[in-house]
A and B are shown apart, each in its own frame.
Chain A
């Protein structure tokens, strides 16, 4: 076996046993003698190989790391086979709060409520419990409210590489310009 494929295999088995998406940082801390460049190249090659093999799972890039994940087309078999499996569930309201936190972080609960026009306390506590968001500190305003931000588990759950990987939202155009004078 040549060096290149054995490096790939070593990295592959580390990812395979890892509980969380394994980062390049973690791999290179372990493989001290290998250059980061080489690790990145090996990871790219690994991803391509798994993709090309057309298996039921792929090597995904999520939460700034690498993780083996099943392809979405097999979800029905998985859920049917294991009825006890913990399924993802989130209300529309909680998903809205999560989206606002994701795009505006760090953000306070009051700021989220201002955007949604409704009380968001229960959604915020559900998201905290599920560890999709966490406290990022306090805002230096009267009352020092908590600031919230999203977690790595959020990125992992939604299959996002990092926060820049969030779907782009259309920016609000300058309203004043578009605003028509009433007749």
Chain B
């Protein structure tokens, strides 16, 4: 049901009955390695190209999530997925493998929560019994898509981020055991005039703040209602900006209640500059780490605000600024 201006409250409380996170070699050395269902030591995954490797990651995430949910893929009505590769091929090619009716979505790195919100909407409204949401990103494929060749020696500034190699997926059902999706807030596209593609954190922070503000307003809640609020991939730089921006807007969220998937996923010793990014950053952290902690009873209620930078390699060469979006999903155990 619509509540407020841009939020959905899921009265039937759709359940995430199975979820999976798959990671690459760099994620295996990270902070959350134990929460991944599968970790690959080869960036290529034995494939001929990075794009094929990314598709493989997403396939494995979907298959593992379905298996963990204890359902058959034939029982799932709809699959929603998005990624960063041109024409979202990782998602559509995975849909070809799965054979589940498919809706391709694109919200850049916010695709994880965009997919989960839409899957929950379908299930909550009884337009689906089971829906699958997934997303993926691959470090080298994203570098190739957005920046320079992987082996090109360009020096990155301290505001740059490291794209997560991985994929996450979740099966949403009407009934069952597991964390429940209770509400979602769809974000506006916000552009505060940042045009540096090596400074995504600063570009996306206002979008995250806008969505958090809208969520609090629409649902008449505050940070006190949540164990924590996790933004998708603002990194250390964007996190500080978001925190101060929230304070400026009169929402002083305590330090321990505001975190960021891009800061959680890697160790401080890993050379990732400002932190992790990419669709898989919020996806693997949520579908792996957060949901695992919820199932263990460590967390009761969280808000995941996945942030996405909606630029293209062409748009920034044409000197366009970077429009950003953030979608929030509230998950309760």
Same assembly: no
Interface on A for B, CB 8 Å cutoff?
none
Interface on B for A, CB 8 Å cutoff?
none
